[in-house]
Amino acid sequence: MKRMKTDQAMSNLSQQQKEDVERIFSKAVQCTRNKDYSKAAALYSQAAAYGHPGAQNNLGNLFQNGNGVKKDLQKAFHLYLDSARHGSLAGMRNVAACYLDGIGTESDFDTAVAWLETAAEQKDRNACIMLVNAYDRWDHRDEEQKIIWHKKAAQYGDADSCFFLGDYYVKSGQQEDLSLAIDFYDCAARNGKAEMKLKVAKAFDIAENEQSLNLEKAKYWYSEVLSCDDDQLRLDAAMGLDDLMDHDGNVVRPALDIGKAYMTYRALAMKDNKKACSLAAYCNEIGKGTASNIDAAIMFYQKAGEADKADWCRRKKAGVLGDSVYEAQVDNIMPFVDRNVHTNSREYYRSMKRYDSDRDRFKMCEYDGRIYYQQQDSGNEIKYLCSSDMEGDDVEIISEVHFNGENVQVNITGIYLYTSESDSSDRRLRVQHFDFDGNLLAECCDEDENSSGDREIYFYDNNVYFVSRYSTYYSDKDIIKCMHVDIGAIEVLYEKAEFISGLCATGEKLIFFARYCSEERDEDGCSENDEGWMMMDLMQDSVECISNPYCSPENIVDKPEVYDDESPEYNEKCSYNRHIVSFDLNRGIFWTERRASGLEGKDSAHLESVKYWEPKSLWGNRDEVIPDMPVWKIVNESTNYGREYFDGVYYYCAKDCSNFESYDKYGNVYNWSDGNGGHGYCDNYNVIGDYLFLDLAAYNEEQYPLAVCKIDPIRKSWIKGSVPKEAIERFKGKNTPKK
């Protein structure tokens, strides 16, 4: 260990002089505490002139920071140096800091270390910590020296160094080092405050390690923390004494002292700590650490603001935990509906995920048991309109394609190719209509130059309903248009909303979600009163909101001040709480989503996230659940990644980019994954007939079975490479290609 030379401070002074200097120094310290830095500097200067090391150090601080004197780093350094030479440990640390960082002098790592080692030799643990940090610098990193000085600091009672060494020996992986780790952790707790005791308790517990280091010591230090003055630390310690659960609610480690834990929860709950209220309520509910008391559980859940759990306890006390609406209808059979030639499917439920658009869907469709799509021949780069069976075999070419639209739609009136927002540079809708022999029947394009993008495209017979973003100098808004393809006409149907999504149609009705903003509204812009699901009667040219009593287009646009149920314009037949999630236009019904209120789970702490889909009549009483259709139960619901789809037999959703799920009406969840998260874009899927199509073109050709939902999913890459040569030869053998 290096040592710098020091001398005896004020050795040339008499005892009386020393006492007088100490009094001056004490007055200066008091002035510093009172932030009277100018007076402090004057007094420190007097004491420093007699060689008082503390005064020299503190005066150096004032010069370094410019407090009460003009900032002077060089003078600060020389004062620190004088203080260090006179034996001040603080002066040694400060002069070392100057040498380390070049403050008032040139950087000199070795001299800095020498001063720190001189202080450390005098059992200064702060100097030891500075040495640890010095050897952690990028240009002087030395792990061995760091451990040496951590040990020195621990020897002098530094709790943080003790804890560091405990972690160090645990991570070494050597069995013989575990006893050292335990000793250092105990040392950290003995020398540290309540925060360190809690930290040590967790280190001993299974909470911080895959296996517990010493549960008895964890229990001891958790219990020690319970006597501190910090309520949050007491709560954390009590939770440490409680049983430890995993994310699924399974016990990982039994309680260490549930009695102490409960008494702490209860004491903190009386001080209105909401987390403690919740924990005390659960203990009373199931009789953990105290006798079971449902009334106390209800009281504490109410104080915690957890009304659903309080309601569950009331139901449990009354012996009524079921959901009568769901239980009465869950076993109903979904009535069969014949194929709808307009929507090309037997069951069609419009995905009501807002902001979903056609650009996210496959550019293929099914009609009468065959798939229709466009594909390019890699040999001559000619693009063909093709069809195949559901397996991707029996490929037939219908026509050559001289058109940049990649999307395909088919119904009883023929085959339609069209552009969408992602396919065209000008992003305006263009549609070509072919018959099933490949003859081009009609072509139509939206020529409106103010249109800046088409979304929400919906085909019904030879009419195409679409939403176009309309931009002007003053504002942007969405417009619903109808393209009558065969006669080449485009009609504007609706132009009052700022934003429109979720478009679907029948021959007489148009349904869409709309958001409005009036110029007369305040700076906050649109509110929840300004949006809702709208139904437009195409015969009567009238629009009705079916989901929001405040949201009448006329009120929003023409009379924005009308927003109360006393107004004659208020729609009393419409419930604001109605949450529409899906439409089945074939049956004339829609589905609302209702979340469970404490109905599921073995106890209130294990309540599952449950939502129910309830069928309502689109044309009749929209607030009454249809009695002959099942209410659906969807459990463990979280934010779905991408689209939802409901075909009347199963509910489908992409949980994330690589995991797919389905649900039956009883709430059973079926997961589909390869186990490695390697499926690719599970959110980009389509359900066609009895097949699930997934866009996994970037992955190998292996197919993965999807549990109970549909038979094996068909990957988008089932269209293998390019158009089969034999299909091209058959097509070329026919008449001149249709254009």
pLDDT per residue as tens digits for the range 679-692: 555 666 677 766 77
* Confidence tier at 354 by pLDDT (50, 70, 90): very low
Instruction: Output the pLDDT for position 663.
Output: 84
Instruction: Output the pLDDT for position 16.
Output: 92
Asked whether residue 255 is assigned to any structural domain, the reply reads no
DSSP assignment letter at 388: E
Alpha-carbon distance values, 501 to 504, 520, 533, 556 (Å) = 9, 24, 9, 18
Cα separation, 412 vs 225, whole angstroms: 76
Last residue of a domain, one of 95, 122, 149: 122
Total count of domains within the chain: 2
Q: Percent of the chain scored above 70 by pLDDT?
A: 79
Q: What average pLDDT does the segment 406-416 reach? A: 90
Range of the domain at 528: 341-363+406-574
Instruction: Output the pLDDT for position 714.
Output: 67
Instruction: Output the pLDDT for position 498.
Output: 85
Radius of gyration from C-alpha coordinates of the chain: 38
Last residue of a domain, one of 99, 122, 145: 122
Asked whether residue 56 is assigned to any structural domain, the reply reads yes
Asked whether residue 547 is assigned to any structural domain, the reply reads yes
264's tokens: 């702490």
Asked whether residue 113 is assigned to any structural domain, the reply reads yes
Asked whether residue 558 is assigned to any structural domain, the reply reads yes
Ranked by mean pLDDT, the top range of 211-215, 252-256, 546-550 is: 252-256
Cα separation, 668 vs 651, whole angstroms: 11
Model pTM greater than 0.85? Answer: no
Cα separation, 266 vs 697, whole angstroms: 58
State the average pLDDT for the chain: 83
Instruction: Output the pLDDT for position 348.
Output: 53
Each residue of 280-320: pLDDT tens digit?
999 999 999 999 999 999 999 999 998 888 988 998 898 88
Instruction: Output the pLDDT for position 515.
Output: 84
Could you tell me if 206 and 255 are in contact, meaning their C-beta atoms sit under 8 angstroms apart? no
Each residue of 223-243: pLDDT tens digit?
999 999 999 999 999 999 999
Ranked by mean pLDDT, the top range of 2-6, 100-104, 333-337 is: 100-104
* Confidence tier at 529 by pLDDT (50, 70, 90): low
Last residue of a domain, one of 517, 552, 574: 574
Asked whether residue 496 is assigned to any structural domain, the reply reads yes
For residue 460, report the phi and psi dihedrals to the nearest 5 degrees.
-145, 110
How does DSSP assign 390-443, residue by residue? TTS-S-EEEEE--SS--EEEEETTEEEEE--TTT-SS---EEEEE-TTS-EEEE
Asked whether residue 522 is assigned to any structural domain, the reply reads yes
143's tokens: 């792990």
Instruction: Output the pLDDT for position 360.
Output: 45
By the 10 Å C-beta count (0-12 exposed, 13-18 middle, 19+ buried), 695 is classed as: buried
Higher pLDDT among residues 694 and 509, named by residue: 509
Cα separation, 606 vs 623, whole angstroms: 31
Instruction: Output the pLDDT for position 105.
Output: 95
For residue 560, how many other CB atoms are within 10 A of its CB?
17
* Confidence tier at 637 by pLDDT (50, 70, 90): low
Cα separation, 633 vs 43, whole angstroms: 79
Residues 6+ apart with CB under 8 A from 514: 478, 496, 497, 499, 500, 531, 532, 533, 534, 553
Higher pLDDT among residues 14 and 671, named by residue: 14
Q: Does the structure show a pLDDT above 70 at 336?
A: yes
Q: Which of 207, 200, 299 is nearest to 255 (CA)?
A: 207
Estimate to the nearest angstrom the gap between the alpha carbon of 695 and the chain centroid. 25
Higher pLDDT among residues 62 and 553, named by residue: 62
- Residue 355, Ramachandran bin (φ over 0: left; ψ between -120 and 50: alpha; else beta): left
Q: Does the structure show a pLDDT above 60 at 339?
A: yes
Each residue of 358-386: pLDDT tens digit?
444 557 888 888 889 888 887 777 889 99
Q: What average pLDDT does the segment 113-134 reach? A: 94
For residue 664, how many other CB atoms are within 10 A of its CB?
16
- Residue 316, Ramachandran bin (φ over 0: left; ψ between -120 and 50: alpha; else beta): alpha
Alpha-carbon distance values, 690 to 229, 366, 514, 567, 706 (Å) = 65, 11, 33, 50, 12
Asked whether residue 425 is assigned to any structural domain, the reply reads yes
Q: Does the structure show a pLDDT above 90 at 36?
A: yes
Could you tell me if 420 and 403 are in contact, meaning their C-beta atoms sit under 8 angstroms apart? no
Higher pLDDT among residues 197 and 340, named by residue: 197
For residue 65, how many other CB atoms are within 10 A of its CB?
12
Q: Which of 293, 297, 295 is nearest to 278 (CA)?
A: 297
Longest dimension (CA), the chain: 124
Each residue of 451-510: pLDDT tens digit?
766 668 889 988 999 998 887 666 678 899 999 999 999 999 998 888 888 888 888 899
Cα separation, 156 vs 125, whole angstroms: 6
Instruction: Output the pLDDT for position 720.
Output: 64
Could you tell me if 364 and 407 are in contact, meaning their C-beta atoms sit under 8 angstroms apart? no
Cα separation, 542 vs 342, whole angstroms: 23
* Confidence tier at 404 by pLDDT (50, 70, 90): confident
Q: What average pLDDT does the segment 328-336 reach? A: 87
291's tokens: 């006798």
CATH number at residue 31: 1.25.40.10
Ranked by mean pLDDT, the top range of 193-207, 600-614, 646-660 is: 193-207
Instruction: Output the pLDDT for position 259.
Output: 96
Residues 6+ apart with CB under 8 A from 176: none
Residues 6+ apart with CB under 8 A from 80: 56, 57, 60, 91, 94, 95, 98
